[in-house]
Amino acid sequence: MNCLEFRRELLANPGATGAEAQEHALGCAACADFRARTLALDAEIAELLDVPVPEGLEERVLEAHRTGRRDSRRRFLAMAASVAGVTVVGSGVFVAMRDDPAALAGIDFVIEEEANAILTAKAPQPQDLVRVSLALGLELPPQLGDIRYIGTCPFRGSIAHHLIVTTPQGKATLLLLPELPAQRRGTATSRGLRALVKPAGRGSATVVAESTQGLERIEGMVWRSRTRGGARLTASARTGSDHGQGSEPRRRRPPRFRG
């Protein structure tokens, strides 16, 4: 059994690999390691799938069986939903005034589409990111955090340069939007996330973070006012070191993209 066969068998059923696979893992440290991590991931998946079950579920099923009717929980839920509906409509007006729709779209993107964007991503083009951030006058300093992902994807009808960064305040998403102007700064809070949309050059950028603190930290770094010229994100090697943007271009390192 070679490494590829081993990994295939392992990924199909990590908990029950055959004798040949066991033997392979004994003689192949890399595959033994691969197996350990696969088992750890499976344990995490199992834990996640184990969602809490509503109190009294069995009793309601049996009650429905005895009475021949589906249990009252559903009616109760429907009623609760209608009451909640009023509240939602009521607060909706308030929310609409406070939350910027463009910023809300950033949160929806992170919750609903970001994972798919990563799954379907093509090879990243870091040089495009460098170019785009320069054009938008934005900085991506190394203190921002570790860049975990770079890609492009559709967002609000234009192309977003999509970054995922881990920061001391948690995970954050940046969408650089060279073709999507914004009139002014706007923020939103929704689904446990905080988002900001803000003009940048001729376009804009959206930041989605887990807290206001995290958001403001990123805003302060990315939109930092510069002496002049463009952003200094860059590795001079990629953009050319010919025009001294800022006085000491080589002192600043780009964000780490650990690989």
- 29 sits near other proteins (criterion: CB under 8 A): no
- 193 sits near Zn ion (criterion: CB under 5 A): no
- 111 sits near other proteins (criterion: CB under 8 A): yes
**For 258, phi and psi rounded to 5 degrees?**
-70, 130
# chain residues binding other proteins, by CB under 8 A: 67
User: Does an H or E element contain 186, and which?
Assistant: strand 186-190
Q: Which is nearer to other proteins, 71 or 99 (CB)?
A: 71
Distance CA 126, CA 123 (A): 10
- 34 sits near Zn ion (criterion: CB under 5 A): no
- 100 sits near other proteins (criterion: CB under 8 A): no
* Cβ at position 95, least distance to other proteins in Å: 23
- 96 sits near other proteins (criterion: CB under 8 A): no
Distances (CA, A) of 243 to 160, 195, 236, 237: 27, 35, 9, 12
Q: Which is nearer to other proteins, 152 or 204 (CB)?
A: 152
- 28 sits near Zn ion (criterion: CB under 5 A): yes
Partner interacting with residue 46 (select from Zn ion, other proteins, none; CB below 5-8 Å by kind): other proteins
Select from 165, 182, 175, 181 the least CA-distant residue to 207: 175
DSSP 126-182: HHHHHHHHHHHT----GGG-EEEEEEEEEETTEEEEEEEEEETTEEEEEEEETT---
Q: Quick one: which of 107, 150, 196, 218 contacts other proteins (CB under 8 A)?
A: 150
Per the structure block, which two tokens stand in for 226? Answer: 């510069």
Q: Quick one: which of 1, 10, 21, 31 contacts Zn ion (CB under 5 A)?
A: 31
* Cβ at position 24, least distance to Zn ion in Å: 6
Select from 105, 110, 114 the least CA-distant residue to 186: 105
- 131 sits near other proteins (criterion: CB under 8 A): no
- 105 sits near other proteins (criterion: CB under 8 A): no
Q: Tokens 């200094």 correspond to what residue?
A: 232
Q: Binding residues for Zn ion, per CB under 5 A? A: 3, 28, 31
